[in-house]
Structure 1
Amino acid sequence: MTVITDALCPFCGCLCDDLTIVVEDNKITDVKQACKLGASKIMGHHRIKAPMMRKDKNSEFKEVSYEEAINEAANILSNSKRPLLYGWASAVCEVHKKGILLAEELGAIIDNTATVCHGPSTLAVHEKGLPSATLGQVKNRADVIVFWGSNPVHAHPRHMGRYSVFAKGLFSEKGRKGRKVVVVDVRKTDTANMADQFVQLEQGSDYLVISALRAILSGHADVVPESVGGVSKEQLSKLVDTLKTGKFVGIFFGMGLTQSKSRYKNIDNAISLVTELNAFTKCVITPMRGHYNVTGFGNVCAWETGFATAVDFARGAPYYNPGETAANDVLLRKETDAAMIIAGDAGAHFPADSVRHLAKIPVVQIDPYWNPTTEVANVVIPVAICGVEVEGTAYRMDGVSLRMRKMVEPTHLPDTEVLEKITERVKALRGE
């Protein structure tokens, strides 16, 4: 029996690094400290046993060798005039680098799961920057915590215990007792049930409410009507007082802000609010990132191509224009004629029209797990689980890079090796 301590969890953007893993005969038998979601992934579930192929979407899968599956994947991608490479969020940075090289070789579009979650946050940061901090700073210093459009009780189960609400730090020895917690959302979530202040606003009114807060903060409360987005002026003024009087304010926002009306302008406005609050106190803002390394892909893609996501290599050089080059843009316009989905699940999270188009074109899936994308795939290549069977680098939601550890020996090929083989095969097919 082997006991691995201080292991990282490859599930969500919290990247909890205090896990204890028990391994017996190259099999994980126990996971301690992790939430149920993280433990479930580490223990393994719905694994794809072997590479599979089928002639068309209506026929049954047939198990094949890795060589056959990789050759067919390379044929599909090299014959495509407009290939899409999508996913990447549940893979380590070393995989991202190989994927970007393949995209460049193919002249493909490469996009990640942020396109349907925190892509708008990236656009806002382009315009305003990001006055943020590490989760360690929030744990040690914050006395006011705001969750806007996010529900960590379910989406990031250990966030409040390790980094924000309940965590005890260097200057926050009292933990929860020394903090005020504010939740802003369209409904009363389980997170809101724990809050000192709950601000319930109308769907799609985030931008208006943030603008009202900025007006009150700047001393122009007279221009704010008695109710904004379903929130009374009195409650808005109370929230401003809470934010101004805090010694260190940490604001965490989720998809309730990024995917509602006004989208990236919501985050743009929220960042402006944070900047203005820093005239009164210390205030930081952090996106609640979902997959454990979706932040990592943005970093790798940015330093490799100059852009964080939705990069089009069709011109022979990186081109970026969200609204034109993101995954759903090309799928809804029916531009792409082949797709590779890796370390992400487009079948579960894309709009119905996008999934319908995926069902009509050749799709290569590279993933450890059987999921809805498998149902629309032509070629399925199972791989080792990054952060469990393969080591590598991942970025926490606050942008801190951490090293994932290998806990057991892999039963499948790693993503990096599969991508290398596909790239080599593509080059051979093109006579390079």
Structure 2
Amino acid sequence: MPKEVTDVICPFCGTLCDDLIITVSDDNKTILGVKNACAIGAEKFNHQRLPGRVKRPRMRQADGTYKEITYDEAIDWTAKMLVKSRKTLMYGWASTSCQAMSIGHEIAEKVGGIVDNCATVCHGSSLIAIEDVGVPSCTLGEIKNRADCVIFWGCNPAHAHPRHMSRYSIFPRGFFTVKGHKGRKIYAVDCRYTDTAKCADEFIQVQQGFDYELLNAFRTAVRGDALPDTVGGVPKEKIYEIAEAFKTARFGIIFFGMGLTHTMGRNHNIDIAINLTRDMNEYTKFAIMAMRGHWNVTGSGQVLGWQYGFPYAVDLSRRDQARHQTGETTSVDLLNRSEVEACFYIATDPGAHFPVDAMISSSRKPTVTIDPHINCTTEISDIHIPVAMVGVETGGCAYRMDNVPIETRKVVEPPEGMLTDEELLTKINKRVDELMAKGGA
């Protein structure tokens, strides 16, 4: 008889919903149904039973076709590539466990690699700002139970984090927010009218590229100082009105996304948003939070941070010290300058997201991709090593977007003989040790 697994963590986005119910077959090998997940999260679980799923490593041949090889052959080829390369880009990590990351970082230390994650093309600006000025933040649970003023700035959770609004930010009834949506004032600030804006009480349309100016105007309005007639396309009367509403809230939260990190100003946009949050705390309780995308990209920043002091783009090529410099040790810049000798991708698909010039450069290097499925990057890799799906076929620690660690659960068994990320990296690490003991032979 099929059985239900309850309280399952969803390994899709940074919300890490923890209330999923998964129906599995009696032999514990196949997922039959998914309850409570959003459409994208449900698809992540249903991918487990794709009929054409690759179950063994593949090596690209001279004619562009792929030949199936053993895990031992793939591990040996990968270890030799890592030992031979003087500078390997080890990018991804956002969709695997923190345990796997720590093993990967150990390998990077030995071979002098550069460890980078998806923040390099996502919320890296936010991390720079937080390093500069700190961050007055909170947990999603506090927001659910206390927030009566919610601002979505440059983000669209209706598409990117589909259950965020129903679980934490708009609709849920919390301990001090018993009226749910009716007890909250929702603001959406964006350069275009989004589906999230449809759920808001107030939509503020800012002129594209003028987020910094508008945030500065809110800081000015909070202090009661004079403003010009319009700032970023928003009349000063509206800015004063909303600033006053912010001051009278019991608990306010600013959620911001790549509308701030990818526009003019970048980390300075986040700097001033954090400073606006600090200004508001002179009048009421206010917090700010980045809307992190991949389900464990926050965890990658956490693990790198406590190991090396930097949350992304960590250069370990000198071996005796870790270095970080945006524009110097970041993945796209390294590839564009053709500074790396090999590429090692895990739990990511840069081929679908990186600029074309960067991926052309990558395709000319020895490349290994570790991912459960075929994607754009596996098709330009020399070796594709499929692994068990973390959060579905194996467990592991992940960090929610509010930096709360959560242990994901194993729901079903992986295909017979398939390794997990942690097991694969452990074997690669051991093989690297053997090769280095022989002088890199």
Task: Give distance in 2, aligned partners of 1:55 and 1:27.
Answer: 33
Q: 1:109 maps to what in 2?
A: 114
* Aligned position for 2:315: 312
Q: State which of 102, 123, 134 in structure 1 corresponds to 2:128.
A: 123
1:63 CA drift (Å): 1.0
**Which of these residues, 172, 184, 197, is aligned with residue 189 of structure 2?**
184
Do 2:24 and 2:32's aligned partners in 1 also have CA atoms closer than 8 Å?
yes
- How far the C-alpha of 1:47 sits from its partner, in A, is 3.5
Q: Which residue in 2 is equivalent to 1:77?
A: 82
Letter in 2 for 1:318: A
Give the gaps of 5 or more residues in structure 1.
none
- Given candidates 205, 215, 218, the residue that maps to 1:200 is 205
Q: Superposition pairs for residues 250-269 of structure 1, below 5 Å? A: 250-269=253-272
Q: Deviations over 1:373-408 (max 9, x none)?
A: 112111000000001111111110001111111111
2:55 to 28, 49, 72: 49
SS at match of 1:285: strand
Matched, 1:392 2:396: yes
RMSD: 1.2
Which of 24, 29, 32 is the aligned partner of 2:32? 29
- Aligned counterpart, 1:418: 424
1:219 to 224, 235, 245: 224
Are residue 356 (structure 1) and residue 360 (structure 2) matched? yes
TM-score by length of 2: 0.95
Per-residue CA distance 1:237-273 (angstroms, 9 max, x = gap):
2221221111110110011111111111110110000
Q: Which deviates further from its counterpart, 75-84 or 172-181?
A: 75-84
- Conserved 8 A contact 2:154-2:258: yes
Contact 2:298-2:401 at 8 Å conserved across structures: yes
Q: Select 2:240's aligned residue among 225, 229, 237.
A: 237
1:5-20 matched pairs, under 5 angstroms? 5-20=6-21
Tell me how far apart the structure 2 counterparts of residues 371 and 430 of structure 1 sit (CA, whole Å): 32
SS for the counterpart of 2:224 is coil
Structure 1 window deviating more from structure 2 (240-249 vs 284-293): it is 240-249
2: distance between equivalents of 1:315 and 1:73?
Answer: 21
- CA 1:202–1:47 in 2, change beyond 3 Å: closer, same or farther? farther
Counterpart code for 2:344: M
Residue of structure 2 equivalent to 1:91: 96
Distance 1:152 1:290 in 2: 10
Distance 2:161 2:57 in 1: 32
Aligned partner of 2:305 in structure 1 is 302
Paired residues in the alignment total: 429
Name the SS of the counterpart of 1:84 in structure 2.
strand
The amino acid that maps onto 1:309 is Y
Structure-2 separation of matches of 1:421 and 1:229: 55
The alignment partner of 1:372 has SS state of: coil
Q: Which runs of 5+ in 2 are unaligned?
A: none
1:247 match: 250
- Residue 165 (structure 2) aligned to one of 160, 167, 186: 160
Match of 1:133 in 2: 138
Q: Residue 24 of structure 2 aligns to which amino acid in structure 1? A: V
**What fraction of aligned residue pairs are identical, expressed as a percent?**
49
Which amino acid is 1:393 matched to? C
User: What is the letter of the counterpart of residue 13 of structure 1?
Assistant: G
Shift of 1:126: 0.5
Rounded to whole Å, the distance in 1 between the matches of 2:143 and 2:253 is 6
Contact residue 61 and residue 67 of structure 2 kept, 8 A: no
Q: For 2:151 and 2:322, how far apart are their aligned partners in 1?
A: 37
The reply on whether 1:431 has 2:437 as its aligned counterpart is yes
Question: Which whole-Å CA distance do the structure 2 matches of 1:306 and 1:214 have between them?
Answer: 31
Corresponding letter in the other structure for 2:187: V
Name which of 320, 325, 329 aligns with 2:329. 325
> What do the CA deviations read for 1:290-342 (whole angstroms, capped 9, x no partner)?
01111111111111112111111111121111221111121111101210110
The TM-score, its normalising length taken from structure 1, stands at: 0.97
Give 3-state SS (helix, strand or coil) of 2:138's partner. Answer: coil
Structure 2: distance between partners of 1:261 and 1:373: 30
The aligned amino acid for 1:69 is A
Task: For 1:225 and 1:49, locate their aligned partners in 2 and report how far apart those are by CA, in whole Å.
Answer: 62
- 1:48 CA drift (Å): 2.6
| 1:331-342 matches, cutoff 5 A | 331-342=335-346
